[in-house]
Structure 1
Amino acid sequence: ALGADFAGIDLISGADGLPMVLEVNSMAGWSGLQSVTDFSIGERVASDILDAMATSRRAHG
């Protein structure tokens, strides 16, 4: 729906215990997530972008 390859999604638990989306951000701030994650988000995003570029080049010559 957004046409974004990467986005930040803010979630909370609803009264029924199911996740509810508060907002979706195209320019997400990763500092909160990075503080509780055991891998580098920046490295993962960069790797995914490079992989997508390589796939596109192979597909389009």
Structure 2
Amino acid sequence: EFVPHGAKDIRAFVIGDRVVAAMLRVSNTWKTNIWRGATPLPLEVTEEVEDVAVRAAKTIGCEVAGVDIMETERGLLVNEINSQPGWKGLQSTTQVNIAGEIAEHVISRARD
């Protein structure tokens, strides 16, 4: 099903039970991948985005995931869950040390 989304979407980076960073990706086409030329913009994470992203990642058993979310007339819709997400655009846009966040999570889980 094609879902109109205004050539933009949200990438929420989930680690464990939280979204550590998110960005809005704006494109000239329906494809909003950064490597395809979309522009990344910083985005403050709302409770709704965090809830949708974390639930989506947990549903498929991912502790680390890039969850792509579209804002539509029907509300927030998950478009894709990436179990091996890239974070170059996200890290440069948000200034969050994604690798450091992943490392901290792994160390914390190892201690549990």
- How high is the TM-score relative to the length of structure 2? 0.44
**Aligned residue for 1:34?**
91
2:67 is equivalent to residue 6 of structure 1: no
Please report the RMSD computed on the Cα atoms of aligned residues, expressed in angstroms.
1.4
**Aligned residue for 2:104?**
47
The structure with the largest strand share of the pair is: 2
- How many equivalent pairs are there? 54
Segments of 4+ moved more than 2 angstroms: none
- How high is the TM-score relative to the length of structure 1? 0.74
Greater relative contact order, per chain length (Cα 8 Å cut-off, separation 6+): 2
- The alignment partner of 1:7 has SS state of strand
Amino acid at match of 1:4: C
Distance in 2, matches of 1:22 and 1:35, equals 23
By how many angstroms is 1:32 displaced? Answer: 2.1
- The alignment partner of 2:70 has SS state of strand
Distance in 1, matches of 2:66 and 2:95, equals 18
Distance in 1, matches of 2:78 and 2:90, equals 16
Distance in 1, matches of 2:82 and 2:60, equals 10
For structure 2, the 5+ residue unaligned runs are 1-58
Q: Between the two proteins, what is the percent identity of the paired residues?
A: 31
